[in-house]
């Protein structure tokens, strides 16, 4: 476990020294979301209706944007070789990388989304629901995206390929994440959606670290 925390701490330290990388992702998120009212028109009832879907899709794209570099830097400077040789499981290292990715993207995106939701005319309950679904849903995105990043490590045009691989696999999370806020508007229970999002996150947690480790091993060969 000490290796796990050490790896997370190292990644966070690297990000801390170059905060611009995270800033760019968050700025992309804000700009992408702001484009929708400009493209669709300022009618509040339409914006309220699409808010959750727009914010969720934008969060998904923003998370993908930062994933390309998740393993690439370690792959280029040889850190990945050391992780492969290290006497503790590579699965744990994969999980550590995804955890730090979530802390620097998923968490700030969850905090930022409700602020933008206000501009879409969402009420207090919906904003809270949006925050809760993103908080539970974004770890799944980091894990699935981490897998796509590991699979495309060293590939040609890896950025576009990563999106092509990750997006279909992220569909369930998107459906239940954005759907939760809508059911709240329809007066239905939020808990079912949150429970399913939690279940999806647990399935991803139980399967993706192994797949990521397998992908990293064959990348290191």
d(Cα 146, Cα 99) in Å, to the nearest integer? 10
CA 169/CA 144 separation, integer angstroms: 7
Contact 132, 187 (CB under 8 A): no
Binding mask 11-50 for another protein (x = CB under 8 A): ----------------------------------------
**What residues numbered 177-206 form the site for another protein, per CB under 8 A?**
179, 182-183, 200, 203
Q: How far is the CB of 175 from another protein (least distance, A)?
A: 4
Question: Is the distance from CB of 180 to CB of 193 less than 8 angstroms?
Answer: yes
Give me the least distance between CB of 39 and another protein, in Å please.
20
Task: Give the DSSP letter string of 52-120.
Answer: HHHHHHHHHHHHHHTTTTTTHHHHHHTHHHHHHHSSS-HHHHHHHHHHHHIIIIIHHHHHHHHHHHHHT
Least distance in angstroms from the C-beta of 128 to another protein: 20
Binding mask 143-182 for another protein (x = CB under 8 A): ----x---xx-xxxxx--x--xx-xxx-xx--xx--x--x
Contact 138, 102 (CB under 8 A): yes
Closest distance of CB 66 from another protein, Å = 20
Could you tell me which of 153, 113, 140, 133 has the C-alpha nearest to residue 194? 133
Nearer to another protein, 104 or 165 (CB): 165
Question: Is 215 a binder of another protein (CB under 8 A)?
Answer: yes
Nearer to another protein, 3 or 159 (CB): 159
Phi first, then psi, for residue 107 (nearest 5°) are -65, -50
- Residues in contact with another protein by CB under 8 A are 147, 151-152, 154-158, 161, 164-165, 167-169, 171-172, 175-176, 179, 182-183, 200, 203, 207-208, 211, 214-215, 218-219
């Amino acid at each position: 476990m000490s290796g796990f925390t050490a790896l997370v701490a190292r990644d966070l330290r690297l990000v801390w020294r170059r905060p611009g990388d995270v800033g760019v992702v968050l700025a992309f998120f804000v700009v992408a979301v702001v484009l929708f009212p400009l493209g669709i028109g300022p009618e509040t009832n339409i914006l309220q209706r699409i808010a959750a879907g727009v914010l969720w899709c934008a969060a998904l794209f923003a998370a993908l944007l930062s994933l390309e570099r998740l393993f690439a830097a370690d792959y280029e400077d040889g850190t990945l070789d050391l992780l492969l040789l290290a006497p503790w499981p590579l699965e744990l290292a994969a999980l550590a990388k995804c955890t730090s990715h979530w802390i620097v993207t998923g968490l700030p995106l969850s905090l930022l989304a409700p602020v933008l939701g206000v501009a879409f005319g969402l009420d207090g309950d919906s904003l809270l629901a949006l925050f809760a679904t993103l908080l539970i849903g974004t770890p799944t995105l980091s894990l699935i995206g981490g897998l796509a990043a590991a699979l495309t490590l060293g590939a040609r045009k890896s950025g576009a390929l990563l999106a092509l691989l990750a997006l279909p696999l992220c569909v369930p999370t998107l459906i239940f994440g954005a759907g939760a806020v809508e059911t709240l508007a329809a007066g239905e229970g939020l808990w079912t959606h949150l429970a399913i999002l939690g279940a999806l996150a647990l399935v991803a947690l139980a399967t993706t670290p192994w797949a990521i480790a397998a992908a990293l091993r064959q990348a290191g060969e």
